[in-house]
Structure 1
Amino acid sequence: MKKELQERSSKKKLEHVALIMDGNGRWAESLGKGRTYGHKMGAERIGDVVKTAIENDIKAITLYAFSTENWKRPETEVTYIMNLIKSYFKRQRKKMMERKIRFNYIGDIDDPKVDPSIRKMFKETKEETKDNDKLTLTIAFNYGAREEIVRAVKKISSQVVNEEKDIDDINYQDIKNNLYTYDLPDIDLVIRTSGEVRLSNYLLLQLAYSELYFTKTYWPAFDKVEFEKAIENYYRRDRRFGGL
């Protein structure tokens, strides 16, 4: 990323990027390989994206790893993805500490469908890396924005019922404080790979004023060059947040 472009655009500094990592299976099939190969290579791409983010002084990356709808996929594919997540974290926990990366997760990991070993690994890694401050890497796992909104509304409703909050005093900040992302900075840019142009139940409230970037590149092929194209595109935009 060109330093002068960043300096010229300091008022809209890119701090938080959310990514929809799409196209693993189609990428593999285009090479005549099975879908699981695409997931394997897609997992390998995460490290490159994190490295590029750090090089461009981005402070937070949020990755859509597994949605609440992904359970509908064939059982063999879901099982492979779960095993891939476990093996990935076993290899990456030490690197997170070395690179001062804070790990975070969003989504319902207490759902009985979630492998207990993944739940344990996520919670332990979050605790282990909590003081790291180079970059926050958030994994959206068993995540759905609609479920997140319902969850927030239920928590606020409980506060009203228990007379901890007056219904007339509820505002957006109350909702924001009860989202999974309550402690993360606002999302500046969301990137979706593979050519699909939709949000797929991802961070629907949080993306209200985010810049959207869609690329036809499949996730396993989304390298440093492709990421920096998206970053440069962001810095060339005029963010007005509803103003002039």
Structure 2
Amino acid sequence: MRTRVREGVDRAYERLLRREVDDGPTHVAIIQDGNRRYARDRGDDAPDGHRAGAQTTEQVLDWCEELGIEELTLYAFSTENFNRPEHELEPLFDLIENKLYEFADAERVHDNGVCVRAIGDIDRLPERVTDAVDYAEERTGHYEQFRLNIALAYGGRNELLRAARDVVTAVQSGDLALDDVDDAEVERRLYRQPVRDVDLIIRTGGDERTSNFLPWHANGNEAAVYFCAPYWPEFSKVDFLRGIRTYESREASWQRTRTERAVALVRAVAGVELEEALAVGTRLRDQLSNRGAEELSAELERQNAESAD
């Protein structure tokens, strides 16, 4: 009886959170932490925890589809993970290999147009895993509806270092002029595949750190971050919706600040030259949310009316 009541409360809370969520983020990145601790708490071995976590991953794909999220990046295996004992690594490589083949052949992946890609220092992985990566990317690479990035042998600092070395080599060889080195040139050399800026990072397992994850596309975009206590196999839809709500709260605050600055700038310029204020306001309006653009338009109309009087 108590279990049914608890389940009813959870469903009601999930419906409440769903009503509170609006457009949501475009790109969510998740640090799937706690698989081993989940297994240890149950007296199981680490591979059991990873297998349980893989089931959660499939559920998250359903939630992303439901919420209209266009890109998901999963931190599946870091460069630091190579330091784990051999008896943990081999089953983990088995699981990654099997899941890549499974995703590549799954009807739901093809029905929903999911493009499966790997990012990271893939060449460090066993050949059987890189073969699975190649298979998944070849089978799904033409899809554009949803992108699933699997971060394997991944480390953010390592990616930045590799990109920097590539830029230096290109400059030294004469293939790239020093004056042409910009954000786009660095970004082009990051990862194996292009990645959108990250809107939201979620980390499970209780630790409050982003662990060198996607520094260029997350930190550079000032992504919202949601830390939660459940281990990855226990991560629920309610937890996911809470993360989305954290993003929307941060986005609303950011948009409010941006709108206030835009209005203040228009007022300051209008005090000197109305025509210039109108030009500035028009440019800024295109960078704001719908509500922010409406507020700025109202301010421009007010300034114009005052000038006419």
When normalised by structure 2's length, the TM-score is 0.72
* 1:205-244 alignment, distance < 5 Å: 205-208=216-219, 209-237=222-250, 238=252, 240=254
Of 24, 48, 70, the residue aligned with 2:35 is: 24
Say yes or no: does 1:187 pair with 2:201: no
Give CA-to-partner distance per residue, 1:24-72, whole Å, 9 cap, x none. 0111222232222111101111110011011000000000000111010
Say yes or no: does 1:6 pair with 2:19: no
- CA-CA distance at 1:205 after TM superposition: 2.0
Partner of 2:181: 170
Q: Distance in 1 between matches of 2:20 and 2:158?
A: 41
- CA-CA distance at 1:4 after TM superposition: 6.6
DSSP 3-state at the match of 1:138: strand
Q: Which runs of 5+ in 1 are unaligned?
A: 8-12
- CA-CA distance at 1:223 after TM superposition: 2.1
Q: Distance in 1 between matches of 2:98 and 2:179?
A: 48
Q: Distance in 2 between matches of 1:160 and 1:195?
A: 44
- CA-CA distance at 1:92 after TM superposition: 2.4
DSSP 3-state at the match of 1:194: coil
DSSP 3-state at the match of 2:230: coil
Structure 2 CA distance for partners of 1:167 and 1:47, relative to 1, 3 Å: same
Of 164, 169, 176, the residue aligned with 1:153 is: 164
Q: Confirm or deny: 8 A CA contact 1:54 1:134 kept in the other structure.
A: no
Q: Distance in 1 between matches of 2:47 and 2:139?
A: 30
Amino acid at match of 1:170: V
Amino acid at match of 2:254: R
Partner of 2:122: 109
Say yes or no: does 1:64 pair with 2:75: yes
Larger Rg: 2
Partner of 2:12: none
Give CA-to-partner distance per residue, 1:181-214, whole Å, 9 cap, x none. 7622110000000010112121122212111110
RMSD of equivalent CA atoms: 1.9
DSSP 3-state at the match of 1:185: coil
DSSP 3-state at the match of 1:79: helix
Partner of 2:305: none
Amino acid at match of 1:162: S
DSSP 3-state at the match of 1:6: coil
Amino acid at match of 1:229: R
Q: Confirm or deny: 8 A CA contact 2:117 2:193 kept in the other structure.
A: no
Of 109, 129, 133, the residue aligned with 2:140 is: 129
Structure 1 residue runs of 4+, over 6 Å off?
none
| Count of residue pairs the alignment pairs up | 237
Amino acid at match of 1:224: K
Structure 2 CA distance for partners of 1:140 and 1:60, relative to 1, 3 Å: same
* 1:71-90 alignment, distance < 5 Å: 71-90=82-101
Structure 2 CA distance for partners of 1:213 and 1:117, relative to 1, 3 Å: same
DSSP 3-state at the match of 1:207: helix
Q: Which runs of 5+ in 2 are unaligned?
A: 1-16, 262-309
Aligned identity (percent) is 32
Amino acid at match of 1:83: D
Give CA-to-partner distance per residue, 1:140-188, whole Å, 9 cap, x none. 0011111111110111112111222222332222211211176221100
17-26 or 178-187: bigger deviation: 178-187
- CA-CA distance at 1:3 after TM superposition: 5.7
Give CA-to-partner distance per residue, 1:47-101, whole Å, 9 cap, x none. 1001101100000000000011101011100011001112222322222223321
Of 46, 49, 53, the residue aligned with 2:57 is: 46
